């Protein structure tokens, strides 16, 4: 490991030296240019924003940053969604999962309003990557659904979701896709007027949510740009439209009223009647979060180099999984989370030849969170230190052929302390090399990518607990993709992608063996797991005309050794816990490996209907569906059902008014121990105003969400029978920029 770290440091020092030469050359030849953010960022191409979104210049509409190579709009081989501008303000929520849940193919884990992680095409956890400006969040959100993503949505400039084979360039765990949150903490551009100021203030009625965030850039001299940002959010317990418990769980709880309970001295018996009666508010969901960060960049005509430091601090509760039988445990944990993080980003143009530019992105974070008991006492402590770095070499365009290659490194040391530690102390190392090559010839486009990843997971038990495996597992994983696209006309593009993916099991999947208060489950892994392998194919259709835009994907993935977490009989966990003499009083969830298949589709249609007096009337419709099965067993658990969302929007120069209806259908394809989830319909509306003719960056938005106060439960949530989604929520947001 020491040799790997030294190699990464040497690469970083070399690039700093190259950037230093670029600064010196630029100082003697030219003043810095005011390149756009898109020109300086890692780029790839997305499908165009729907016409129902506020219209923006084509130069902004055509650029995204999530994959290494820039392409034209019609060359896209797979679906990419971008959330920015007015849509970003309208969908702003405390968690990324809830914020992105209206995008095609995206759902959320919905483990309370603060810890809701994105789900892409039914994949979650270790099968999607959540990035901040191109590298991982370096937190523990992928290890458990109760752990919040340590990225502040309030400071996001834009969020991009990439699905399909090219997502594998960011790691073998990105088979489901990539979510990249882009902020301005390390400045990419020099402010045109010498300074830049952005801010947002929001109020949401459902949780009495109050938040404010701001970011400022100041140019110092011809090359240096300084940055500072901060945010604060405080929310009370979430308001819901009806009972917290589903009808079946309410009935189960009420059936236990009067049943004798064996209660330890000093403890109160569970009040099953009170649990069944909870309605209107979701207890233990209040939150308070603040962040602060500073950054600096040297920006020249031929490169840039920047660093930043940030602090994240949050205290939030997760919904209670109420006991519905005598003998079950009932916990109400709160999580006290802190992260300190340092980041580096650099880019230098090589001056021509085979390479066009070199990019580096690196980050190091120290993370900890405490799972607190109702008394405030620390029940379990989680500690993690992680480092991730990424170096990319971008080839110049030579007769339609261009490419990007690089290396990526990740290290994480993870330790849990406390009576409910469900993992041994462990360390993960991953080193990957990758390449993406593409060729354009008129209407024809082809792309091929490959990645090889070395990884090892080491459990360091030191004989402290007989439950835990002690030792090291090492894996070598290869992934590859091939795609072709063809422009049938200037407005119509079709594509076909194939991929093969290998993913190493995570430390949690290998080594877990214990009760986890946050998820309120006993979690059990298997140290003998093998590589997870999948074969995938995806067909795409992109239609972009003057009045109509349509993007659709259909996909199929077949897995060997697929790892899933299934609720099983309590006796399985009792046997695993026996060596340490522990009792199992939480539901038993075991990681298992078997064959599996995923197939589904997603589509996004928008059209300009007509225009009246300068006001454009647009309509849009999206839909998505995924069907996932453990071969010869049962459906994969927690898979989102069919969903349709339609909207009607009026756009003027100074206002936008929108109404939308979302229909989520019943999910009755369920795994063992799951329960069916009824469908629901949500109605939302919003009005956005731009009061200043000479300042389009300032806007006031009023929205009403779940207008009819519907009790909605997401099937993808572990807690869907105990924690419905927010009830009626009136939100006001003021965004400003100077």
- Among 478, 495, 501, which residue's Cα sits nearest to residue 175? 501
Q: Label the pairing between strands 303-317 and 492-503.
A: unpaired
Host domain of residue 638: 63-195+211-737
Mean pLDDT of 661-666: 98
* DSSP single-letter state for residue 48: P
Instruction: Return the ∠ at Cα 291 (arms to 103 and 87), rounded to 5°.
Output: 25
Query: Residue written as tokens 């989102």?
Result: 640
Residue 474 confidence (pLDDT) above 70: yes
Residue 471 to residue 570: CA distance in whole angstroms = 27
- Specify the number of domains making up the chain: 1
Q: Does residue 667 fall inside a structural domain?
A: yes
CATH number at residue 346: 2.40.170.20
Task: Map 190-246 to HEC letters.
Answer: CCCCCEEEEEEEEEECCCCEEEEEEEEEEEECCCEEEEEEEEEEEECCEEEEEECCC
CA distances to 277, 353, 430, 493 from 68, in Å: 53, 18, 20, 21
Helix (H, G, I), strand (E, B) or coil at 88: helix
Q: Does residue 606 fall inside a structural domain?
A: yes
pLDDT of residue 279: 96
Q: Does residue 38 fall inside a structural domain?
A: no
Q: Does residue 623 fall inside a structural domain?
A: yes
Q: Could you tell me where the beta strands, DSSP code E, fall in 3-138?
A: 80-84, 106-108, 118-120, 128-132, 135-136
Q: Label the pairing between strands 177-182 and 128-132.
A: parallel
Residue 163 confidence (pLDDT) above 60: yes
Structure tokens at 90: 């309208």
Q: Does residue 406 fall inside a structural domain?
A: yes
pLDDT of residue 91: 93
Q: Does residue 250 fall inside a structural domain?
A: yes
Q: Does residue 139 fall inside a structural domain?
A: yes
Instruction: Give 684-708 pLDDT, tens digit per residue.
Output: 999 999 888 777 789 999 999 999 9
Residue 157 to residue 378: CA distance in whole angstroms = 36
Residue 590 to residue 291: CA distance in whole angstroms = 36
Q: Does residue 286 fall inside a structural domain?
A: yes
Residue 38 confidence (pLDDT) above 70: no
The answer to whether 617 touches 647, Cβ cutoff 8 Å, is: no
Reported residue count of the chain is: 738
Residue 738 to residue 730: CA distance in whole angstroms = 27
pTM for this entry: 0.87
Query: Residue written as tokens 């085979």?
Result: 354
Instruction: Give 247-296 pLDDT, tens digit per residue.
Output: 999 999 999 998 988 887 777 889 999 999 999 999 999 999 999 999 99
Q: Could you tell me where the beta strands, DSSP code E, fall in 74-145?
A: 80-84, 106-108, 118-120, 128-132, 135-136
Burial class of residue 263 (count of CB atoms within 10 Å of its CB; 0-12, 13-18, 19+):
exposed
In sequence order, the β-bridge partners of residue 299 are 304
Residue 620 confidence (pLDDT) above 80: yes
């Amino acid at each position: 490991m020491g040799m790997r770290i030294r190699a990464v440091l040497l690469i970083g020092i070399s690039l700093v030296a190259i950037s230093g030469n670029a600064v010196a050359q630029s100082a003697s030849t030219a003043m810095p240019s005011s390149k756009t953010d898109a020109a300086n960022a890692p780029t790839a191409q997305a499908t165009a924003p729907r016409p129902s979104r506020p219209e923006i210049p084509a130069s902004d509409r055509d650029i995204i940053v999530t994959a290494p190579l820039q392409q034209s709009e019609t060359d896209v081989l797979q679906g990419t969604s971008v959330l920015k501008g007015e849509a970003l303000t309208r969908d702003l929520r405390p968690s990324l999962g809830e914020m992105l849940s209206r995008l095609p193919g995206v759902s959320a884990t919905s483990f309370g309003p603060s810890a809701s992680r994105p789900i892409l095409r039914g994949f979650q956890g270790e099968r999607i990557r959540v990035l901040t400006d191109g590298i991982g969040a370096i937190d523990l959100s992928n290890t458990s659904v109760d752990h919040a993503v340590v990225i502040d949505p309030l400071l996001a400039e834009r969020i991009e979701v990439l699905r399909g084979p090219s997502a594998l360039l960011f790691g073998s765990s990105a088979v489901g896709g990539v979510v990249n949150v882009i902020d301005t903490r390390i400045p990419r551009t020099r402010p045109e007027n010498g300074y830049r100021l952005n801010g947002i203030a929001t109020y949401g009625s459902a949780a009495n949510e109050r938040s404010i965030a701001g970011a400022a850039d100041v140019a110092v001299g011809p090359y240096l740009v300084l940055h500072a940002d901060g945010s604060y959010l405080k929310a009370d317990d979430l308001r819901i439209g009806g009972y917290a418990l589903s009808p079946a769980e309410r009935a189960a709880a009420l059936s236990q009223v009067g049943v004798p309970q064996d209660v330890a001295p000093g403890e109160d018996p569970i009040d099953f009647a009170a649990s069944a009666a909870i309605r209107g508010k979701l207890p233990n969901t209040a939150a308070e979060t603040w962040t602060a960060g500073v950054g600096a960049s040297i920006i020249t005509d031929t490169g840039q180099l920047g660093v930043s430091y940030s602090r994240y601090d949050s205290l939030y509760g997760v919904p209670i999984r109420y006991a519905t039988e005598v003998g079950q445990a009932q916990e109400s944990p709160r999580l006290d989370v802190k992260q300190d993080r340092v980041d580096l980003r650099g880019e230098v143009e090589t001056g021509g030849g085979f390479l066009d530019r070199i990019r580096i992105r690196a980050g190091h974070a120290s993370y900890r969170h405490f799972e607190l008991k109702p008394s405030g006492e620390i029940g379990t402590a989680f500690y993690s230190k992680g480092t991730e770095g990424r170096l990319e070499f971008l080839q110049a365009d030579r007769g339609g052929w261009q490419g990007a290659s690089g290396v990526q490194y990740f290290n994480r040391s993870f330790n849990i302390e406390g009576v409910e530690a469900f993992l041994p102390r462990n360390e993960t190392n991953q080193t990957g090399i990758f390449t993406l090559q593409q060729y354009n010839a008129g209407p024809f486009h082809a792309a091929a990518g490959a990645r090889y990843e070395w990884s090892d997971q080491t459990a360091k038990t030191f004989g402290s607990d007989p439950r835990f495996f002690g030792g090291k597992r090492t894996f070598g994983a290869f992934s590859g993709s091939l795609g072709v696209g063809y422009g049938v006309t200037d407005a119509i593009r079709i594509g076909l992608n194939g991929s093969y993916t290998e993913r190493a099991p995570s430390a949690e999947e290998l080594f877990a063996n214990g009760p986890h208060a946050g998820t309120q489950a006993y979690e059990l892994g298997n140290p003998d797991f093998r590589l997870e392998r999948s074969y995938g194919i995806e067909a795409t259709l992109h239609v972009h005309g003057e009045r109509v835009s349509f993007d659709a994907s259909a996909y199929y993935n077949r897995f060997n050794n697929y790892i899933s977490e299934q609720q099983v009989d309590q006796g399985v966990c009792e046997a695993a816990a026996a060596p340490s003499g522990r009792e199992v009083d939480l539901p038993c969830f075991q990681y298992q490996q078997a064959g599996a298949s995923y197939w589904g589709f997603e589509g996004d249609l928008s059209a300009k209907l007509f225009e009246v007096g300068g006001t454009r009337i647009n309509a849009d419709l999206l839909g998505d569906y995924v069907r996932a099965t453990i071969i010869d067993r049962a459906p994969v658990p927690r898979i989102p059902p069919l969903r349709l969302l339609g909207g009607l929007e009026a756009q003027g120069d100074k206002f936008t008014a929108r109404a939308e209806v979302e229909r989520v259908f019943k999910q009755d394809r369920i795994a063992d121990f799951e329960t069916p989830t009824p469908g629901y319909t949500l109605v939302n509306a919003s009005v956005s105003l731009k009061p200043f003719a000479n300042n389009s960056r300032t806007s006031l938005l009023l929205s009403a969400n779940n207008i009819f106060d519907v009790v909605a439960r997401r099937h993808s949530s572990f807690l869907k029978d105990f924690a419905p989604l927010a009830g009626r929520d009136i939100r006001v947001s003021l965004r400003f920029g100077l």
